[in-house]
A and B are shown apart, each in its own frame.
Chain A
Amino acid sequence: MANESTRVNAPGLVSGKGWHDQDHVPGIKSELLELNMGPQHPATHGVLRLLLQTDGEIVYKVTPVLGYLHRCAEKIAEGVNYKQWVVYTDRFDYLAPMCCNHAYVTAVEKLMGQSVPERAEHIRVAVSELSRIASHLIALATFGLDMGAWTPLLYCFREREEILNLLERISGGRMLYNYMIPGGVRYDVPNDNWVADVLDFVDLMEHNKLPEYNTLLTYNKIFIERTADVGVIDAKTAVDYGCTGPVLRGSGVDFDCRRDDPYSVYHKFDWQVQLGRGEMGTTGDCWDRYIVRAREIEQSCRIIRQALQQLPEGPYQALALKAIVKAPAGAAYTRVESAKGELGHYIISDGGQTAFRNKVRSPSFCNLQVVEKVGVGQMVSDLVALVGSLDIVLGEIDR
């Protein structure tokens, strides 16, 4: 049972009392309906299971049930060497694998005290931001789909396809790249006009495609009706629950690891952190989270343009690839701003070839927790909007 104070969001529940509290028909007992949303459900973005208690359309309790995609990735890290484990990071957030690679290799580099050539850092930033755009495109697309808008889904996937083609040309993989290695990147920028093609794509994205999504979906009256003032996460709740990324910024908290805890070469570029401002309703509603992602695509385009235009000459790897890399005993924690939020890797080494312990702080996991609080008192449709706007990836939650 939800406590009284959390019910104020529920439309129609002015008195703070639900239908089931009242004795409408003498002798007939009414109770809450238990509903399993998932693990096989079209709107749970993977194999998430939400255990709902509903009173008609109104949700009284949400309990996320996890673990359907657990693959023991952290345990595997104790058995394979540092370079081999990069491949598992791809499988965390499979919509933005480059960001995951980046998070892991920075941790390993910090542990080893390894420096990275400037050119490699530029390439890393560019591909990470491309990955971020791809991930945000999926977020916009599936969020639209959750709202019943089919067509933007296909448009977003069309542009994502372009990104996958570009990343395939640089890394050889379309979805799971295994591209970054401790001390650099696996391959140099291909000499088939890749940089120019990326710059073309970025221009197209910024000037052509984003306005198209905006006219089709963002400023659509029905879409605004469905998302504004829905699933409001206020700044305090967002901070309390450890939300990061677009969810945190959607609530108006000005924090971005790329700016506030600079890693790689982000400090060199000129861009802005985007915040939810409650333009259509309350700050921290679903529309704010959506628009933060849409505007971050724009900012990512700016970063990519600068990173590739200033791409320095030089080596793309710090050292020739050795099969086995040993790290000195010690521990290192680094965090990067992945597409979903703050992705941290904590690695403890006992001096051997493999990590003694590798702990991943995944943003989706922390972001999802907030459902338990914010989902209460919403309608079932709004819960779908809320989960969609959090943009979770189950591969990262269960690892």
Chain B
Amino acid sequence: MKLMYDFFTGQLGLGAAGANITVAAVMAVIMFTVMALCAIILTWMERKVAGFMQSRYGPMYTGRFHGWAQAVADMLKILGKEDIIPAEADKGLFKFAPILVLLGSLLAWAAIPWAPDFVAADFDLGLFYIFAVSSLVVIGILMAGWASNNKWSLYGAARGAAQMISYEIPLALAVVPVVMRAGSLNPQDIVIAQQGGIWHWNINPITNPFLFIAFFMYFIASIAETNRGPFDMPETESELVAGYHTEYTGMRFAFFFLAEYANLFLVSMIAALVFLGGWWAPFPGMGWIPPALNFIIKGVLLVFLNMWVRWTLPRVRVDQLMHLCWKVMIPVSLLCVVGAGVWMMAWGQLK
């Protein structure tokens, strides 16, 4: 960012304020493009993964090679769909909800460092900010369910709100040990603290077994946070028709769809950043791999893991989901925080 800032002030002769705005605009465009592309690629990937797990191929025709253009074609089709708003719906909220859901996913991307010093908003409360803005999603879902004036949507929204608010607690608690280890909430510092190969990553159970447990707590909570199987309570197509987005069509539906994949990629990238060493290559001598590529590969692997779980397991029931959160995951996460702290004190790892 420093580089880009210097370029705008030095080469183009912009003032400090002008340069800041330009950098922000450039980063926003990059982030949004990357996100939209990711969502499209992940949609395709989900179909192929699901296909191969179910002994079929998935899309094979559009774009010749393994149906790579299927997601693009779907997006184009969905753009041409009629935008239906139910007559009895709360129109303002109905229109605003999908935007808010997507916004929640997109805003968080600002604080994700893709490579050393390549981050749109580099600030010390980065991790805190990420978890804070991604909570906007739940407001959007609640809004969508309420505004649709449909009982199934309301059910989905109520389940979604209960689930996502509950699972934010273990999600945030799971990264606390990492913050303790790095001594900072800045994502860049957290990654830099893991420099030096796979054994320096936070997931390494020998350095600190509690961080290893915390990773799994984070992973399970992140599945619930993205509303994907086996925790897809707000949608539950076999119970609630389509949950909170039952009444949505066309581009508004696509917003929810994009948000799901943006969110999925986001939580996976955070896991890669916090537990799997961010942009660092796993072994020395692999320094020639671009840092951003390292980071993305880790994120995509976690996304694959997420899809694997989704297409293997049945769905839990809503009360079992809450039971798991409040009676299992939150206590274990708290234990991780305490345990990690004691461990670090004992071995002098605390900063």
Q: Using a CB–CB distance below 8 Å, which chain A residues touch chain B? A: 11-12, 33, 35, 41-43, 57, 144-151, 153-155, 158, 216-217, 220, 222-223, 225-226, 379-382, 384
Contacts and interface: CB of A to CB of B under 8 A. Distances in A.
Nearest to A148: B315
B12 interface: no
A216 B319 contact: no
Contacts of B23: none
Given A147-B314, A149-B314, 10 more contacts: A11-B319, A43-B239, A147-B238, A147-B315, A148-B229, A149-B315, A158-B55, A222-B230, A225-B317, A225-B320
Given A33-B151, A35-B151, A225-B320, A155 B55 contact: yes
B54 A57 contact: no
Which applies to chain B's interface (DSSP): helix, strand, loop or mixed?
loop
B241 A217 contact: no
Contacts of A380: 155, 239-240
Given A57-B318, A148-B232, A148-B315, A384 B238 contact: yes
Given A42-B241, A57-B318, A148 B236 contact: yes
B237 interface: yes
23 contacts: A35-B151, A42-B238, A144-B314, A147-B315, A148-B230, A148-B238, A148-B313, A150-B311, A151-B53, A154-B54, A155-B54, A158-B55, A216-B312, A217-B314, A220-B314, A222-B230, A222-B314, A223-B314, A226-B314, A226-B317, A379-B318, A384-B238, A384-B239
Interface string B237-263: 111110000000000000000000000
A151 B55 CA distance: 9
Contacts of A226: 314-317, 320
A148 B311 CA distance: 9
Contacts of B230: 148, 222
A13 to B, nearest CB: 12
Contacts of A145: 238
A151 B232 contact: no
B267 to A, nearest CB: 20
Contact of A41 (B241, B314, B318, B319): B241
B239 A150 contact: no
A226 to B, nearest CB: 6
B56 interface: yes
Contacts of A384: 238-239
B335 interface: no
B97 to A, nearest CB: 22
A150 B237 CA distance: 11
A149 B237 contact: no
Contacts of A41: 241
Given A35-B151, A42-B238, A380-B155, A151 B312 contact: yes
B292 interface: no
Query: What 8 A-B pairs have minimum CB-CB distances, sorted nearest first?
Result: A148-B315, A154-B54, A149-B314, A147-B314, A43-B238, A381-B317, A146-B238, A223-B314
B244 to A, nearest CB: 15
Given A33-B151, A42-B237, A222-B230, A382 B55 contact: no
A145 B313 CA distance: 11
B193 interface: no
B55 A154 contact: yes
Contacts of A155: 54-55
Contacts of A149: 312-315
Contacts of B238: 42-43, 145-148, 384
B50 interface: yes
Interface string B29-60: 00000000000000000000010011110000
Interface centre among B54, B229, B317 (most CB of A within 10 A): B317
A225 B317 CA distance: 9
Nearest to A52: B151
Nearest to A34: B151
B314 A381 contact: no
A381 B313 contact: no
A204 B101 CA distance: 48
Interface string B44-81: 00000010011110000000000000000000000000
A158 B54 CA distance: 9
Nearest to B315: A148
Contacts of A33: 151
Contacts of B55: 154-155, 158
Interface in B293-335: 311-320
A163 B228 CA distance: 34
Contacts of A57: 155, 318-319
